[in-house]
A and B are shown apart, each in its own frame.
Chain A
Amino acid sequence: MNVNATFFAELLAFSIFIFITYRYLWPSFSSILDSRREEISKGLEAASESQKKLEEAEDASRKMIEDAKNEASSLINQAGSRGDQIVEEAKTQATEEQLKIKSAAEADIEQNVTKAKENLKQEVSSLVLAGAAKILEKEVDAESNKQIIDDLIKEL
């Protein structure tokens, strides 16, 4: 143990190093670590936020898929019922058409029958006239006997 003036030199050196640390090293280390801490906390916050967003997006997409599924099934159902409806419609339409055609044909037939009847009547009336004329051997005035003929025709 030998205490001497070295002590003062060491005192000076220590003071200088403390000053350097106090002035430069300590503040810059503090500031860099503080800013890093801030950055990390920001990053963590952003991470949790994006996690939340991701969950939200997942929920939304799940919901979308469900909606789409529902929509698709309802569309399918709708399409099925629409198809049925179309078929039904077509059927009724066809039936109607059939009925229409049938009735038209019936009307036609009726008309033809009536016409034929009318013709037949004319024919018959003329035949009756001719026959009567033959029987009476003289001209039957159609005009004067019209009443009788008509009555005859009506009886046919």
Chain B
Amino acid sequence: MAEKNVIDPSNASDLTPTSDYISHHLTNLTYGWCEKSESWGFAYHQQTIFPESPCKVSEMGFWAFHVDTIFMSSILGVIFFGFFGLAIRAAKTGVPGKIQNFAEYVFEFISNAVSSNFHGSSKIIGPLAFTSCVWILAWNLMDLLPVELTNFAGAAGSGFDYFKVLPTADVNAPLALALVVMFFVTYYTIANHGLGGFLKEFINPIELVGYFSKHVALALRLYGNLFAGEMIFILIGIMFGQFLMSFGQTLWFFPGLIMNLAWALFHILIIALQAYIFMMLTIAYINLACAKH
């Protein structure tokens, strides 16, 4: 089954097939600065289209870009926000069509969540909640694509052997969202209570830890849930792949299919829930920042 595709000949010697399978699934397609060759390039043996550098992913430092995360998140943003843009462009005030109806439903859902949980006055909170919720949902939906998809694509000669389709399972993406939330929380705290009011919160230095951990937790909650979900898909794949290889019975395909399906169905809940939780916490944090003490 899929295992055959993922064994990287370059390091097959120092990795068992299982751990290699996992690490392959958890490694991003990386473009970064290589100290060894003092040049920018794609990490060693990840793809065959562009020139590669001699550095492996682990050897690259901070100045590396996860091309798959950036590409997927951007393209998903373009698709989803483009969908809403097109829906609103074709919109009419009379009786709405099906697409417009759906778009308006999503908008009203988020708009209601904002108006019922946020009591200050802010023009950015609505768009912020909308963008984060829709974008995260778009990312998370990628988790429902089969985990083997990119391996098959690599095996089919797409040139990219490493490609993670799920941006949420890359900690950089949720962390970026959380930093933007932190920026707005800080901005509204200072705007509503003044710089003194903002600094007064940290008279007890432990508050400073809380202030940062709150936002880091916001990112890690999202990241952790989706990463774990992805991991379970991978483990299900390994388990039944092992059965298949050990006993040579293609019958093992079916329990694997059922378990995958069961987890995917349950995961749909997590996907939507995590996007919703992120949005609600964003609203709650900014509401707290605007609240009069």
Contacts and interface: CB of A to CB of B under 8 A. Distances in A.
Interface in A1-24: 1-11, 13-15, 17-18, 20-22, 24
A8 B63 CA distance: 10
Given A2-B28, A13-B74, A33-B108, A25 B180 contact: no
B32 A13 contact: no
Contacts of B132: 14
B93 A18 contact: no
A119 interface: no
Contacts of A77: none
Interface string A40-58: 0000000000000000000
B127 A18 contact: yes
B104 A6 contact: no
A7 B127 contact: no
Contacts, number: 118
> A-B pairs with the 4 shortest C-beta distances?
A10-B176, A22-B127, A6-B172, A21-B127
Given A3-B172, A7-B179, A22-B123, 15 more contacts: A2-B57, A2-B170, A3-B62, A4-B63, A10-B70, A10-B176, A13-B74, A13-B77, A17-B77, A17-B135, A18-B131, A18-B180, A29-B88, A33-B104, A36-B96
Interface of B: 28, 32, 57, 60-66, 69-70, 73-74, 77, 81, 84-85, 88, 91, 93-94, 96, 103-104, 107-108, 111, 123-124, 126-128, 130-132, 135, 167, 170-173, 175-177, 179-180, 223
Interface of A: 1-11, 13-15, 17-18, 20-22, 24-26, 28-30, 32-33, 35-36, 39
